[in-house]
């Protein structure tokens, strides 16, 4: 595209010169799909109509917003700035609607919360149990995963809040973080595992068996590997990698494998024999812990009323157990 077709924008030009709500929705959809046709489909319009709206928007902004290539389009720097603001504006309007709904119909809404494994059972589960009684009209969706996965979901508006960590590679200015504390780990095996019968158990003996851990690079796995190496041990020679807690539990229940798990999650399954589990802690490496986790939110954005209620519940639960 030629730059000379774009006149320099003036203050308030976008509003005064006729910025359309459909253009905000379109640039937001274009950022998500990277294709004009797919963005048009998402908004229920034809591709020629979408192209026309984008052309008009470029003239309003005074800069090209995207460039075409063989696989679709890529937003220019100006396009990314506008798409980011469009997403915030649309999100703000949705938030306003939820607040209006609260004042007219009572507390309701949908909150999407994420958590790493331990806090999902130790904090999120009891809070949800109480909210089902106090706010039955609030729908709650829960995602349990790694902090890397959940930080992406948060920034993409697939989550409203999560309990975990801000990844090292992420831009910390995009998040707010309320520290909660370190996450202790435990080494878990099946109840009749051969290691439990040894009198003087140490980590070297544990390394004789298969281990079930996160894929390479995962924070829990890095923590365990660093712990072993700092104490002069080698790494497990045979490892099964998985992100699934359910598969991990199945693997250690049916084999002689060893698995590091969040201690809170391990306590939940061991103390209650939850899901029919017959598991036990190994009495070694009892001081191993992952760095502090906390309550993570998007920076500079208000929460929905439903999200505020859930966060208040988490804060109350923390105050109760501290």
Name the β-bridge partners of 58. none
**Is 176 in the same domain as 187?**
no
**Is 156 in the same domain as 215?**
no
Domain boundary among 78, 98, 118: 98
**Is 244 in the same domain as 301?**
no
**Is 231 in the same domain as 242?**
yes
pLDDT at 269 (0 to 100) = 83
**Is 175 in the same domain as 192?**
no
**Is 188 in the same domain as 280?**
yes
**Is 201 in the same domain as 283?**
yes
Kindly report the pTM of this predicted structure: 0.66
**Is 187 in the same domain as 282?**
yes
Q: What is the CATH number of the domain that holds 258?
A: 3.40.190.290
**Is 80 in the same domain as 210?**
no
Q: What is the CATH number of the domain that holds 119?
A: 3.40.190.10
Q: Which residue segment(s) compose the domain that 209 sits in?
A: 183-288
pLDDT digits over 50-80, tens only?
999 999 999 888 899 999 998 899 999 999 9
pLDDT digits over 252-308, tens only?
999 999 999 999 888 888 876 655 568 999 999 999 999 999 999 999 888 888 898
pLDDT digits over 38-49, tens only?
999 999 999 999
Number of structural domains (the chain) is: 3
């Amino acid at each position: 595209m030629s730059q000379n077709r774009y006149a320099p924008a003036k203050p308030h030009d976008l509003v005064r010169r006729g910025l359309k709500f459909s253009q905000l929705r379109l640039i937001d959809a274009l950022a998500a799909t990277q294709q004009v046709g797919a963005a048009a489909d998402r908004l229920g319009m034809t591709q020629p109509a979408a192209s026309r709206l984008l052309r008009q928007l470029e003239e309003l902004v005074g800069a090209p917003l995207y460039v075409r290539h063989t696989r679709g389009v890529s937003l220019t720097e100006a396009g990314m700035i506008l798409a980011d603001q469009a997403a915030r504006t649309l999100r703000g309007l949705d938030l306003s609607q939820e607040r209006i709904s609260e004042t007219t119909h009572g507390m309701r809404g949908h909150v999407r919360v994420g958590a790493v494994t331990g806090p999902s059972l130790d904090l999120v589960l009891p809070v949800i149990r109480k909210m089902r009684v106090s706010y039955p009209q609030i729908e709650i969706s829960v995602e349990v995963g790694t902090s890397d996965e959940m930080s992406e979901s948060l920034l993409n508006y697939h989550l409203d809040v999560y309990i975990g960590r801000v990844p090292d590679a992420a831009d910390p200015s995009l998040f707010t973080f309320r520290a909660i504390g370190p996450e202790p780990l435990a080494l878990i095996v099946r109840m009749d595992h051969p290691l439990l019968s040894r009198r003087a158990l140490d980590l070297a003996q544990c390394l004789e068996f298969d281990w079930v851990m996160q894929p390479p690079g995962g924070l829990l796995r890095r923590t365990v590997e660093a712990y072993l190496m700092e104490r002069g041990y080698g790494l497990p020679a045979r490892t099964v990698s998985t992100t699934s807690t359910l598969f991990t539990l199945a693997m250690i229940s049916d084999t002689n494998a060893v698995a590091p798990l969040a201690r809170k999650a391990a306590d939940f399954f061991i103390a209650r024999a939850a899901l029919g589990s017959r598991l036990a802690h190994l009495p070694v490496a009892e001081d191993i812990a992952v760095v502090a986790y906390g309550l993570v939110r998007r920076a500079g954005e208000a929460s929905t009323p439903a999200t505020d209620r859930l966060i208040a519940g988490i804060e109350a639960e923390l105050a109760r157990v501290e």
